[in-house]
Amino acid sequence: MRKMRRKGLASMAVQTVASTSTPTVDLGPAAALSCRECGHRVSLGPVFACEECFGPLEIAYDFSAYDTEELRARIEAGPANIWRYAPLLPVPAGVADKPNINPGWTKLVKADNLARELGVTGGLFVKDDSGNPTHSFKDRVVAQALEAARAFGFTTLSCSSTGNLAGAVGAAAARAGFRSCVFIPHDLEQGKIVMAAVYGGELVGIEGNYDDVNRFCSELIGDPAGEGWGFVNVNLRPYYAEGSKTLAYEICEQLGWRLPDQIVIPIASGSQLTKIDKGLKELIELGLVEDRPYKIFGAQAEGCSPVSAAFKAGHDVVRPQKPDTIAKSLAIGNPADGPYVLDIARRTGGAVEDVTDEEVVDAIRLLARTEGIFAETAGGVTVGVTRKLVKAGVLDPTKTTVVLNTGDGLKTLDAVAGTGLTATIRPTLDSFREAGLA
Ligand SMILES: *Cc1c(COP(=O)(O)O)cnc(C)c1O
Ligand SMILES: [Zn+2]
């Protein structure tokens, strides 16, 4: 089934190439696209599936010219956004000067209060990506895909989205002067719909779940109607995906160029988790951090936990699920990078775990109450999974641990419905006292 799907995608990828003149592109240290399965290489272009085995393509680099200390100094002197890592990304020189949403360099919050509640003594940090321009981690990947779209001459930006990506694409397209037309499941949270529509691009609700939306986009990309379109998470996926590496770079740089011992990452398609692992490995190879082990933990909601289920069952294949959870940004029932996530969790000695919707809401409240961070449901998933794994003795409380919050609670207000006024009083001191608040 997996093979079949890949085959379909690959033939569309070939069509895309055929219908687009192959421009010469200079994407800095990015040397080629390389197949994750068989290693087959092709030149940089808007393709995403291997013509030999239909495996996913990813960017291969030539970093051989870099001197470690020169590179470190260059990064530290760079802008306070993802482009400080331009030497490690598929972008041309001078990218920081072009119109882009310039996300990144979000806060790494030392979460001592939360650590106390969870019994973590080795240092607990929240990487708070709600601080990005459209309030989710998706700005990182879209900023990257936008540069690829520019390099390949696309004029329309598009995507299939569980909500946050739609907003990030809308904003990036507006800033950079692209047309945008994005596709979402029609029944997303109101906050996500408004956040995606307000930038003025076209927003299309599809009657179906994310996996249906994704399938539709794969069809559109092979059709004349989709010609000249850059789908950030389909034909631009290899470039898009690299944006997640910047989370790994930032976490290590913000820890003083040190690797954390443990990282807890949410899983939708699994792309972010696999690229954070790639980013950490690159830093080790480049000598920017010391070479020592780290553990990667994946987090899902129980109502959409195909990777967690496979991990627990000891399977290498991920069986698709029909999502039913309040964590809609993570509701991908057939995650493209699922098998790679399993590899990484097992290879690093980590794990994949899931929590119920109730635990997600509890964890949103816990993070808000202890650290003043209002996370969206995806942040409730990672904090909830962290709590569960510490209790189970799977996460080591004596080690440095980083938990990702990838989105903003203002977009998923329904999750904490019922949170509100302590009391309503007349504007008098008597009334204040009567309410028992004095
Ligand atoms: C998209 C998304 C993720 C993870 O996405 P992947 O598909 O696994 O890369 C995590 N958190 C939020 C809030 C998201 O919108
Ligand atoms: Zn291949």
pLDDT tens digit string along 313-357?
Answer: 999 999 999 999 999 999 999 999 999 999 999 999 999 999 999
Q: Whose CA is nearest to atom 3 of ligand 1?
A: 268
In the chain, the percentage of residues whose pLDDT exceeds 70 is 95
Positive or negative: CA dihedral 36, 213, 233, 128: negative
Quickly tell me which residue has 């209060």 as its tokens: 113
Are the C-beta atoms of 145 and 239 separated by less than 8 Å? yes
Q: How far is CA 260 from the centre of its chain?
A: 19
Q: What is the mean pLDDT of residues 272-285?
A: 98
pLDDT at residue 195 is higher than 70: yes
Q: List the chain domain ranges.
A: 2-62+138-240, 108-135+244-416
Nearest atom in ligand 1 to the alpha carbon of residue 268 is 8
**Distance (Å) from CA 228 to ligand 2 centroid:** 25
Topology, domain 2-62+138-240: Rossmann fold (3.40.50)
Among 128, 129, 135, 136, residue to substitute to test ligand 1 (most atoms within 8 Å of Cβ): 136
Who contacts 358 (Cβ-Cβ below 8 Å, separation ≥6)? none
Q: How far is CA 218 from the centre of its chain?
A: 20
pLDDT band with cut points at 50, 70 and 90 for residue 22: low
Q: What's residue 25's pLDDT?
A: 83
User: What is the reported pTM?
Assistant: 0.93
**Distance (Å) from CA 74 to ligand 2 centroid:** 35
Q: What's residue 206's pLDDT?
A: 96
CA–CA separation, 168 and 82 (whole Å): 15
**Distance (Å) from CA 421 to ligand 1 centroid:** 32
Which two tokens mark 339?
A: 């098998």
Q: What's residue 253's pLDDT?
A: 98
Backbone angles phi, psi at 148, to 5 degrees: -65, -40
Among 272, 318, 403, residue to substitute to test ligand 1 (most atoms within 8 Å of Cβ): 272
Q: What's residue 12's pLDDT?
A: 41
Q: Which CATH number applies to 108-135+244-416?
A: 3.40.50.1100
pLDDT at residue 15 is higher than 50: no
CA–CA separation, 134 and 410 (whole Å): 11
Residue 369 CA: distances (Å) to CA of 106, 184, 360, 373 = 20, 32, 14, 8
For 70-120, write each residue's pLDDT tens digit: 999 999 999 999 999 999 999 999 999 999 999 999 999 999 999 999 999
Q: Hey, is 56 helix, strand or coil?
A: strand
Q: Hey, is 205 helix, strand or coil?
A: strand
Ligand at shortest distance from the CA of 42: 2
Q: What's residue 215's pLDDT?
A: 92
Pocket of ligand 1 (CB under 6 A): 136-138, 164, 266-272, 329-330, 376, 378, 406-407
Domains 2-62+138-240 and 108-135+244-416 belong to one CATH topology: yes
Indicate the average pLDDT of the chain.
Answer: 93
Q: What's residue 3's pLDDT?
A: 38
Please count the other Cβ atoms lying within 10 Å of the Cβ belonging to residue 292: 9
